[in-house]
Amino acid sequence: MAARSALPPPNNDAPAKLTPMSLLLVLVVFALLTNLGSLIVSVLMALLLGTILEGPVQRLQKRGIPRAASIAVCYVGVLAALVALVMVIVPVVSDQWTEFQDKFPDQMRSLRDDWSESSNPLLNGTGVDLLQQGIDLIEGDTAATTSVSGDAAAAALTIGSSVVGGITSVITTLVITFYYLLEKSLVRRVITDQISPGLRDRVNALWSDVEAKVGGWLRGQLILCAIIGTIATVSYGIIGLDFWPLLGLWAGMTEILPIVGPWIGGVPAVVVALTMGFDKAIMVALIILLMQTLENWFLVPRVMRGAVGLTPLSVFVAILAGTQLMGVIGAVLAIPVAAGLQVILTDIVAQRRASYQIEPSASASSGWRWMLNRALDREGAEHTYSNDDGLQIVSDVTYAGDGDIEEPSAPDSDEDEAPIEFEEAPRILTEEDMASDNPARAAEATWPNNPWKSTGTVSRENSPWKAVRKSETPDGE
């Protein structure tokens, strides 16, 4: 058996060094992250929006519509949907939020008083503290709003600045998204031209893979947000939960965060239900559980088909890092960024594993599988006969029990018999052979495609059991 030679590892023996240029690049990136936060958010939002719209744009292109017109059609559809949602949702949410700030603190105080009289230490201690923190949070926001509204000029300036800043960010994001979609091939070519020619094909394939999987994940998350938000709103309204439009909208919005989002969206609904009674809280908890079951077992396998899947660890790390850098918006943007990084790291790991992969030779095939098939009389093992009394077939010679090795005579033939090679199928014994006085002739066979032995005839030297070589010439010569 020829010894296997391991492939040489890739040329990565040179240790990585931190050069002054790389250190300067890291410092520049850090400065951009800290000082240009709003611009970076706009660029990331534009890239993510472009990734979401890339799929619909390509479908329209396949129908013969030019790319610029396809982008314009998608823009019109997105803007129309956003305007419709704003016109329908904003008035309802505004009224609900005002009512929530007016009534809910009193409801929480009533629940706090009931729990403070309870004999349960969990309710009397931890529960009362959590309710008090919630009351302080809501009343603190209300007091801040009231103090701002007391000074009309300051309030107008604050509101005007917020509105102008929001409109500017939205317009900037839409413009960047449009030109990114329109000139994406040019941007991609400019970036890939800076890479060595040997890696360009891999980078292009990886770029397409990231766009396809992350774009599919983002579109799937938006679909889940709409479905879960609708189900939660309708369910809360049916059971008569207070502030049900606001809580249903909150459940849909938090669905954008995988794994942790559904629980963040369900906790306020349970707290509001507790102020209405323990039975109502049980009903809300059951609704949340049913929604999660529907999402995990029915919606996600269909909506997220082909999209990248995020591990819980990557989700938690991304949310913490994004929150630390950019707050709530950073937490939302960090999830798709983590999804793209996961696709890239998966490709890198797969390439490194492939570079160390050793191709097995033909002589190193699995011999134990062949032995198992022969023991179980499966297909591929040689046929055995019922009158084979203790004969052990090892190659083209036989062993008759524990005695001496018998060398079978060659079968009668008018032509010279070619040496037996293991690639050929074993010779089928005839009735004349079976009726022979020599019992060894009944067991005359060879191992089909024995992986433990090299090709060619068997000899005393290469036989592992020191078997006697079969005669290469027929009798009588």
208-220 pLDDT, tens per residue? 888 888 888 888 8
Which of these three, 182, 208, 232, is where a domain ends? 182
3-state percent helix, strand, coil for the chain, nearest multiple of 5: 65, 0, 30
Instruction: For residue 16, tell me if it sits in a domain.
Output: no
How far, in Å, are 76, 106, 144, 428 from residue 136 at the CA level?
Answer: 43, 12, 12, 92
What is the tally of structural domains in the chain?
Answer: 3
Do 212 and 150 belong to one domain? no
**202 and 301, same domain (yes or no):** yes
Instruction: Give a yes or no: residue 286 inside a domain.
Output: yes
Residue 313 in any domain: the answer is yes
Give residue-wise pLDDT tens across range 195-248: 888 888 888 888 888 888 888 888 888 888 999 999 999 999 999 998 898 999
Query: Which amino acid is residue 204, in one-letter code?
Result: N
End-to-end CA distance of the chain: 35
Whether 353 and 369 share a structural domain = no
pLDDT band at 115 (very low <50, low <70, confident <90, very high): confident
- Highest-confidence segment of 29-33, 110-114, 253-257, 376-380: 253-257
Looking at the fold, whether 291 and 228 belong to one and the same domain comes out as yes
Residue 190 has pLDDT above 90, yes or no: no
The β-bridge partners of 398 are: 393, 406
Rounded Cα distance between 323 and 320, Å, is 5
Same domain for 175 and 85:
yes
Looking at residue 433, its pLDDT comes to: 54
Whole-number pLDDT of residue 467: 45
Q: Are residues 353 and 387 in the same domain?
A: no
- Whether residues 337 and 372 fall in one domain: no
pLDDT tens-digit readout, 430-451: 555 555 555 544 444 444 444 4
Last residue within a domain, chosen from 137, 152, 182: 182
Please say whether the beta carbons of 241 and 269 come within 8 A: yes
Kindly report the pTM of this predicted structure.
0.59
Distance CA 221, CA 113 (A): 40
Whether residues 384 and 253 share a domain: the answer is: no
Q: Which of 131, 150, 182 is the last residue of a domain?
A: 182
49 and 70 share a domain?
A: yes
Provide the domain limits for residue 335: 198-357
Residue written as token pair 């998350």: 221
Indicate whether 208 belongs to any domain: yes
Is 78 within a domain?
A: yes
Say if 7 falls within a structural domain.
Answer: no
Residues 326 and 386 in one domain: no
What pLDDT does 390 receive? 43
Residues with Cβ < 8 Å from 92, sequence gap 6 or more? Answer: 245
Taken as a whole, the chain contains a residue count of 477
Q: Is residue 328 part of a domain?
A: yes
Q: Are residues 162 and 258 in the same domain?
A: no
Q: Both 442 and 325 in a single domain?
A: no
Residue 271 near residue 288, CB atoms below 8 Å: no
Half-sphere exposure of 477 (CA within 13 A, CB side): 14
For the chain, percent of residues with pLDDT exceeding 70: 62
Which phi-psi region, left, alpha or beta, contains residue 31 (left: φ > 0; alpha: ψ -120 to 50)? alpha
Distance, CA of 321 to CA of 331 (rounded, Å): 7
Q: Assign 167 a pLDDT band (cuts: 50, 70, 90).
A: confident
The yes-or-no verdict on residue 287 having pLDDT over 90 is: yes
Q: Quote the distance between the C-alpha of residue 204 and its chain's center.
A: 20
The share of the chain scoring above pLDDT 90, in percent, equals 6
69-98: average pLDDT: 85
Residue 10 domain-assigned? no
